[in-house]
Amino acid sequence: FKEFLIYKQIPVEKYLSKDEEAKMKNLLREYLEFGGFPDVIKNEQKLKILKEYSDLMLFRDFIERHKIRNLDLARMLHTFLIQNFSKEVSIRSLFDKLKVNVKVGKDTVYEYVTKLEDTVFFFFLKKFSRKVHLRESWPKKIYLCDPGLTKIVKYSQEFGRLMENAVFLNLLRQKNESPLIEMFYLKLIGGEVDFVVREGLQIKQLIQVTYVSTKDEIEEREIKSLLKASDLLKCEDLLVITWDYEGVETIRGKRIKFVPLWKWLLGTSFYL
């Protein structure tokens, strides 16, 4: 998002007026909807360019580079993964979906998914576990290299998923700057924590992402999962990234920060 604003020549100030804040949220909405590729930002034919980028990545970085033979499977897998970004998928669920339309073996699906990750079009987030073999196994969550790529396929547009993808990409940048940082998601009975951030051996932060504008809109299970994970992983830095609600709440003796996505991406919240 920072690069998006730089490209649009919009300065990032620590303190903004209400009008400037509203403008920043509109810019964030544009970024989440159409992404941050420079050619897309400056061009009116955004969907056409996004489709060209997607096709280029599919054919050059995946089919040609890895000498993929089953083109129908490659296209279907590519589309299915885009449609299911910010969701948990398993090799079994992918296989079950794909075998309805194309003759394929489970091993081939696994092989193609592994090679798709090499394209850096898709990222696969591991599920947190203390045991290495469980961390490396499926299911995993899918994220895209740019949120605009979701525009090229039909899916039920949920803004929360776009927000979550943006958070993942920002955490990935932090990881690139500090290689000791690792990210996971955590499954709990009846809930989930979107991001577990670990630095070295220490769990540094727990993050939930939710598309809400007021405190009352926040689902109880989101907070319950955060508190449960805090006890389980001995982590006290708890963050909920929202669309518009900002503040600090003490719930069951634990301090939870609520920060709007745009402020978190730009690092301008008083609570960061």
49: which residues sit within 8 A by CB, 6+ positions away?
Answer: 37, 39, 40, 43
Helix (H) or strand (E) holding 183: strand 181-188
Preceding omega of 260 cis (within 30 degrees of 0):
no
Q: Say if CB 43 and CB 79 are below 8 A apart.
A: no
Tell me the pLDDT tens digit for each residue of 37-56.
Answer: 989 988 889 999 999 999 99
Half-sphere CA count of 83, side-chain side, radius 13 A: 12
DSSP result, 190-229: TEEEEEEEEETTEEEEEEEE---SSGGGS-HHHHHHHHHH
pLDDT at 272 over 70: no
Tell me the pLDDT tens digit for each residue of 66-105.
Answer: 998 888 899 999 999 999 999 999 999 999 888 888 888 8
At residue 155 the predicted structure's pLDDT band, cuts being 50, 70 and 90, is low
Which residues is 199 bridged to in the sheet? Answer: 181, 202
**Ranges 6-20, 21-35, 116-130, 215-229: which has the least confidence:** 6-20
pLDDT (0 to 100) of residue 26: 93
Q: In what order do the strands lie in the sheet with 140-144?
A: 88-89, 140-144, 122-125
State whether residue 62 is helix, strand or coil.
helix
> Mean pLDDT across the chain, nearest whole number?
90
At residue 270 the predicted structure's pLDDT band, cuts being 50, 70 and 90, is low
Q: What's the rounded Cα separation, in Å, for the pair 70 and 259?
A: 45
Tell me the pLDDT tens digit for each residue of 98-150.
Answer: 888 888 888 999 999 999 988 889 999 999 998 888 888 889 999 999 999 99
User: Which has the closest alpha carbon to 112: 134, 133, 94, 97?
Assistant: 94
φ/ψ of 12, rounded to 5, equals -105, 115
Q: Which fold has domain 35-157?
A: Arc Repressor Mutant, subunit A (1.10.10)
Q: Going by DSSP bridges, is the β-strand pair 122-125/181-188 parallel, antiparallel, or unpaired?
A: unpaired
For 129, the token pair is 């576990």
Q: What's the rounded Cα separation, in Å, for the pair 123 and 141?
A: 8
User: Which has the closest alpha carbon to 237: 203, 199, 200, 264?
Assistant: 203
pLDDT at 156 over 70: no
Q: Say if CB 185 and CB 124 are below 8 A apart.
A: no
CA distances from 271 to 28, 69, 235, 241, 256 (A): 20, 52, 17, 12, 10
State whether residue 184 is helix, strand or coil.
strand
Structural domain boundaries in the chain:
35-157, 161-266
